[in-house]
Structure 1
Amino acid sequence: MLKQQLRGVSSLLTSISLIGICVGMTSTLLSLRATIEGFGTLVTGVIMSAYFIGYLFGSTRAPKDIRRVGYIRAFGGLAALAAFSILVQAIWVNPIVWFLMRFLTGFAISAIFVIVESWLNTMADNRSRGTLLSIYLVLIYGGLVAGQLILGVADPGGFVAFAIVALLINLALIPILISVTVEPTTHESKKVPVKLLLSTVPLGVVNAFIMQACYAMFYAIGPMYASYIGLSIFQVTLFMAAFILGGLISQAPIGLLSDRVDRRLMITICAFGGTAVSYLLSQLPADQAGLIYAAVALLGAFILPLYSLGMAHTNDYLERDQMVGATGAIIKIGGAGSIIGAPSVAALMEFGAIEFFFWLLAILTAIVGGYALYRVTRRAKAEDQYHSSFAVLPPSQTSDELLTAMAEEVPEEEEAESDEIEAHAILKR
């Protein structure tokens, strides 16, 4: 059965692998090119934050547009929009243009993930859904790593690197447009306000906000930091690839362990581990490239699973009909953290405090670890922790059901026109 389902979604997985490569290349490419052009860290941080604004907007607004035209046509249009935004940035190297185009890229990628994950959830059954989503996420992370390595042999100061990204996005269209597939159906879910989450599972809210800010900082400003300390372009791509690879390797074992012990203790261990490694990285000189790669991989291994740990912890204290709505609320909270993260560290670095990059990561992860440990003393472990077992999720993870939760704010008259499909939209990263 699983083999048959994999054959049914093979074209979908091929397309999303190519999209993952593009996402991996783009953030590092733009950060390096902004450094070459002398934009400055603060301006670059604001530009990079536009992606997360677009991503958040796409996750709440795009569903209505998807319902109007269908998933296949929406995928084609959104991929074309993403390719357009990349090429415009290559032609007009201007901070304002880049900000607007980065917003469009975030919007398009967010909606593409909605389409792909909805498709996978529709094609899977309860016995195979976890396996299919795990394969999907491995392909996403693999694409992110591959994107870094491809960029290592392309000059970010020229047009070719941008053209490669646009070409790969267009190639991603082919498997989807020539395939025959079933579009996702709708599901009912209960809306969960952020205020309810704050009172019920405050650690889940704090963790989502801070960790998404950390991820945004690293993906957006990390390449610039690595360049500033003297790493070559190829070394910068290895720096970023090591971070993602570390998280990819650690996600499953940490998740399995969190299903057997108090998840808050796992959050504490991972967060304080991230604090220690961030401090170590702030002290390593640039001529110790091998040690830097190893430490960055260890940093990714500690902090990349934290978002998923927090999501699973949140679900531990909720009813089943609240889980989808809660995930939608957590995505919005994390999106707000992403928007703030990159400009914050960029503002510190703008004043010459380069070492503050990892110092700020250390402080933020220490806050998460300390608060998680505090919550252990305030509340007993969830009795049915097993009912919401850890899922290997990137910061941008979405699902078919989540589309319903994120689209609940659609005016009633619009819902009446197209109530057969509900939509939603993402980390990972």
Structure 2
Amino acid sequence: MLRQQVRAVSSLLSTMTLIGLCVGMTSTLLSLRGTIEGFSTFTIGLIMSAYFIGFLFGTTRAPKDIRRVGYIRAFGGLAALGTVAVLVQSIWIDPTVWFVMRFVSGFALSAMFVIAESWLNTMADNRNRGALLSVYLVLIYGGLIVGQLILGLVDPASFVPFAIIALLINVSLIPILASVTVEPTTHTPKKVPMKLLLEQAPLGLFAAFLAQGCYAMFYGVGPVYATMVGLSVGQVSIFMAAFIFGGLIAQTPVGFLSDRYDRRLVLAGVTGAGAIVALVLSQVSITNPIWIYIGMGILGGCLLPIYSLAMAHTNDYLEKDQMIGATGAIIKVGGVGAIIGAPLGAALMQFANINMFFVMMAVLAFMISGYSVYRVTQRAKAPDQIHSALTSLAPAQPSEELLAGLIEEANEDFEEPDGKIPVKPGSSGPV
């Protein structure tokens, strides 16, 4: 059954793999090119934060526009918008222009992920939705990794990498535009006040906020750090790819452990280990880069599952009809953390010490670990932890649960030309 459904959405999976590849290339490329052009580290951090601002706008506003023009046309228009943003950045080398275009990229790409994951949710059922989304996430991670490696083969000071990204975005449209599509369906969410989340699962919000700040710092100024310590462009691409690869490998075992033991203890363990690895990396010399690559792989394996664990932990204490609303709230809180993370890391690197890149990661991880242990002493483990496919969200994509809530909100606000409100689809059940 799963094989048949993967085959049925193979065109969509191909499209999103290419989009993931473009996402992986773009952030690293802009960091490297900004360094070459003489932008300060703090300026690069601000430019990178614009992506996450656009991400929040894209996931909250785009579904309403998608509802008006249709999913296919919206996807094509957003791809064109993303292409324009990349090409403008290659032509007009200016921090202000790059900030605006990075915002546009965040808006376009987040909305494209909303469309794609809506498709997957429609094609799957409750028996294999988690497995299908896992295939999707593996392909996205694969695209992110390959994107880093491709960047190591081209000169970031030239027009070529920008042209490659623009070309791949356009090529990615071919499979999805040539396929037969199914309109996504959603189920009716129950809005969850932030106060309730703070009462029921404060650890989830806390961990999501700090984790996304950590991810934004890595994707936004990680290439700057690697360049400043003396790594070549090719080595920078491996440096970035190793972190992502470690997260990909760790997802399944960490998810397995968290479904069988107290999720808070698993969260405390991986973040504590990640903090120690980050501190070690802050003292490692680049004379032997292989140790840095190994350390980055371990660090990614420790830190990238944090967001998934935070999401799953929060859901452990909620009713099923609250999960969509809660997921949307958590992602928005995490988005704020991402907006702050890149500029904060960049400022510390520029005005304090270059090694603050890893030191700050260690501090954030220790804070999550310590608070996780504290929460264990304050409340018993959830009676029945939710067994779900854990998704690790780099700050590039919304979750399938969030998009369902967003599209539902769009349905509520949108009126057809005859004045009738669209009928809300029936429930398909959460992942």
Q: TM-score with structure 2 length normalisation?
A: 0.95
What residue in structure 1 maps to residue 236 of structure 2?
Answer: 236
Q: Structure 1 unaligned runs (5+)? A: 423-429
Amino acid at match of 1:23: V
* Cα distance change of structure 1 residues 265 and 72 upon mapping to structure 2, 3 Å threshold: same
Structure 1 residues 213 and 418: alpha-carbon distance in aligned structure 2, compared to 1, 3 A threshold = farther
Q: Structure 2 counterpart of 1:210, which letter?
A: L
Matched, 1:65 2:68: no
**Mapped partners of 2:424, 2:249: distance in 1:** 36
Mapped partners of 2:423, 2:397: distance in 1: 23
Q: What's the offset of the Cα at 1:421?
A: 7.0
Superposed structure 1 runs of 4+ greater than 6 Å apart = none
* Contact 1:118/1:399 (8 A) holds in 2: no
Q: Distance in 2 between matches of 1:404 and 1:415?
A: 18
> Which residue type is aligned with residue 380 of structure 2?
A
Residue 42 of structure 2 aligns with which residue?
A: 42
Percent identity (aligned): 63
| Alpha-carbon displacement from aligned partner over 1:380-422 (angstroms, at most 9, x marks no partner) | 000011x343523324554555334235666965357663579
For the Cα contact (< 8 Å) 2:214–2:341, is it kept in 1?
yes
- Offset of 1:2 from its aligned partner? 2.2
Match of 1:158 in 2: 158
| Paired residues for 1:271-282 under 5 Å | 271-282=271-282
Partner of 2:269: 269
C-alpha separation between the residues in 2 aligned to 1:364 and 1:173?
Answer: 38
**Deviations 1:160-195, CA, capped at 9 Å, x for gaps:** 000000000000000111111111023101011222
Deviations 1:118-138 (A, max 9, x none): 000101111221111011000
Q: For residue 283 of structure 1, give the secondary structure of its aligned residue in structure 2.
A: coil
Equivalent position of 1:114 in the other structure? 114
Q: What residue number does 1:248 align with?
A: 248
- What does 1:301-340 align with in structure 2 at a 5 Å threshold? 301-340=301-340
Counterpart CA distance in 1 for 2:401 and 2:357 is 37
Structural mapping, 1:176-195, within 5 Å: 176-195=176-195
Separation in structure 1 between the aligned mates of residue 261 and residue 397 of structure 2, nearest angstrom? 24
Equivalent position SS for 2:278: helix
Q: Distance in 1 between matches of 2:411 and 2:187?
A: 18
Tell me what 1:391 maps to: 390
State the AA in 1 paired with 2:168: L
Name the residue aligned to 2:429: none
Trace 1:25-424 onto structure 2 (pairs within 5 A). 25-385=25-385, 387-395=386-394, 398-399=398-399, 401-406=401-406, 414=414, 419-420=422-423
C-alpha separation between the residues in 2 aligned to 1:402 and 1:154?
36
Please report how far the alpha carbon of residue 350 of structure 1 lies from its aligned counterpart in structure 2 after TM superposition.
1.7
Bigger Cα displacement from structure 2, 344-353 vs 387-396: 387-396
Structure 2 Cα separation of the partners of residues 132 and 142 of structure 1: 15
Q: Distance in 1 between matches of 2:163 and 2:421?
A: 38
Question: What residue is the counterpart of 2:428 in the other structure?
Answer: none
| Aligned equivalents of 2:183, 2:408: Cα separation in 1 | 20
* Counterpart code for 2:58: G
Q: From the superposition, tell whether residues 392 and 411 of structure 1 become closer, same or farther in structure 2 (CA, over 3 Å).
A: closer
Displacement of 1:42 in angstroms is: 0.7
Given that residues 258 and 390 in structure 1 are in contact (C-alpha distance below 8 angstroms), is that contact kept between their aligned partners in structure 2?
Answer: no
* Distance verdict in 2 for CA 1:165–1:421, change over 3 Å: farther
How far apart, in 1, do the equivalents of 2:407 and 2:424 lie?
10
Query: Structure 2: which amino acid aligns with 1:43?
Result: T
Contact 2:215 2:338 in 1 (8 A): yes
- Measure the CA separation in 1 of the matches of 2:157 and 2:398: 34
Contact conserved, 1:68 with 1:418, CA < 8 A, in 2?
no
- Distance in 2 (CA, whole Å) between partners of 1:420 and 1:167 is 39
Amino acid at match of 1:263: R
Distance 1:30 1:198 in 2: 37
Deviates more, 1:351-360 or 1:221-230: 351-360
Counterpart-to-counterpart distance in 2, 1:193 and 1:367: 25
Aligned to 1:426: none
Structure 1 counterpart SS, 2:182: coil
CA contact (8 A) 1:78 1:112 kept: yes
Whole-angstrom CA distance in 1 between matches of 2:365 and 2:374: 14
Residues 154 and 413 of structure 1: CA distance in aligned 2, closer, same or farther (over 3 Å): closer
Conservation of the 8 A alpha-carbon contact between 1:192 and 1:325: yes
Q: Across the two proteins, how many residue pairs are aligned to each other?
A: 421
User: CA 1:75/1:297 → structure 2, altered by over 3 Å: closer, same or farther?
Assistant: same
